[in-house]
Amino acid sequence: MTITAPASERTERTAQPLTALMCRPTHFTVSYRINPWMHPDEATDTARAVSQWEELRRAFVRLGFAVHEIDPAPGLPDMVFAANGGLVVDGIAYTASFTHPERQPEGALYADWFRASGLNVVEARHINEGEGDLLTVGDVILAGTGFRTSLDSHREIAEVFGREVVSLRLVRDDFYHLDTALAVLDDRAGQEHIAYLPSAFDDASRAELERRYPDAILVDEHDAAVFGLNAVSDGLHVVTAARATTFQHQLREAGYEPIGVDLTELLLAGGGAKCCTLALRADTLNPREA
């Protein structure tokens, strides 16, 4: 039985519109297999992927987000998943270094965009896939490992950003990035709130999450499987998968306003709303280039 706190005792949810980088899925298809969601022998619909992505972008604009775009490159169908392009905190852009050869060229393109936008770029020396595995919560960076991002990169990130980095080991290949198994709902220091799928983590990581976030929302298998946790939150509004209906109910109970979007075409490559969105935590960006 779930006991809901009276409205007077709930944390006040406050929207803080994001600055985000996105990449139009002009060249989207599934032509190789680097995660369990991808099946190259099954047809994909690029026009449908673009239409769904545009609806996501419109949802962000309606929420007051500042949305920037990086040009898509031919031959890089996963470039739409901008979250993997790096980690931007305090105006510092830590570049991505992808695990699979198919995606490695993306790292340099995102790094070039960061430089042109006036960010302080730090070239990664170790394998990492950006915000796919690196999520900022308050003053802490939650860092996934197990499938894509190396533990060596976690140590490097702690040095680059001067923040505590908490390593979390993923154990299910269908939730191969941290942002597929955990969503940051409120990243304000002192108000940190997350949602996650317990079965995606090893015992030690799950215990650490329970210790740090005892009020976290625990999401069920169905809603996680439709990428409900691959969500984007401004602290009040949570853009999530339209089919994650139980999660949306949980969000409402916790004082959030969920917004369901249909990204089922992009899910064929193992991506959702957060995968398409890289947060740009910087005071200023070069307006001419960005």
State the catalytic residues: 177, 275
Of 118, 30, 136, 120, the C-alpha closest to 80 is 30
**Integer Cα distance of 234 and 130 in angstroms:** 19
Three-class DSSP category at 191: coil
82 and 22 Cβ atoms separated by less than 8 Å: yes
**How would you label 195-225 residue by residue, b for 16+ Cβ within 10 Å and e otherwise?**
bbbbebbeeebbebbeeebeebbebeeebbb
159-164 long-range contacts, CB within 8 A, separation 24+: 160/92, 160/94, 160/122, 161/89, 161/90, 161/92, 161/94, 163/89, 163/139, 164/139, 164/140
157 and 87 Cβ atoms separated by less than 8 Å: yes
| Farthest-apart Cα atoms in the chain, separation | 54
Three-class DSSP category at 22: strand
- Which pair of structure tokens corresponds to residue 57? 């972008």
Of 241, 238, 273, 231, the C-alpha closest to 255 is 238
